[in-house]
């Protein structure tokens, strides 16, 4: 995620303890000018292979630009 979206930060939390359910927080300048839905689509595109095998579900996803993350 970090490489493909040129993200400042990426946090993936294993919500289930077995890697099947995760929460993802991403801060990237690539999200600037994008709607919340399109930002999530960008992340899902990057993790598509993991969703086919290891990860069963993304329970929560937060996508912010650096300005939003800084509170601007």
Residue 50: the pLDDT is 87
3-state secondary structure of 64: strand
- The span from the CA of 31 to the CA of 14, in Å, is 24
Residue 7, pLDDT above cutoff 80: yes
Tell me if 17 sits within 8 A of 53, measured CB to CB: no
Residue 60: the pLDDT is 96
Domains of the chain are 7-66 (3.30.300.90)
**What tens digit of pLDDT does each residue of 13-68 get?**
999 888 899 999 999 999 999 999 999 999 999 999 888 888 889 999 999 999 99
Residue 36: the pLDDT is 96
Residue 4, pLDDT above cutoff 80: yes
- Element holding 13 (H helix, E strand): strand 7-14
Note the pTM of the prediction, 2 decimals: 0.90
Nearest CA-CA partner of 63 in 21, 24, 14: 24
């Amino acid at each position: 995620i970090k490489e493909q979206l040129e993200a400042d930060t990426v946090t993936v939390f294993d919500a289930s303890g077995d890697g099947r359910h995760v929460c993802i927080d991403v801060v990237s300048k690539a999200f600037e000018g994008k709607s919340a839905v399109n930002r999530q689509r960008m992340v899902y595109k990057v993790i598509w292979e993991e969703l086919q095998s290891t990860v069963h579900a993304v329970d929560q996803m937060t996508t912010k630009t650096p300005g939003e993350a800084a509170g601007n």
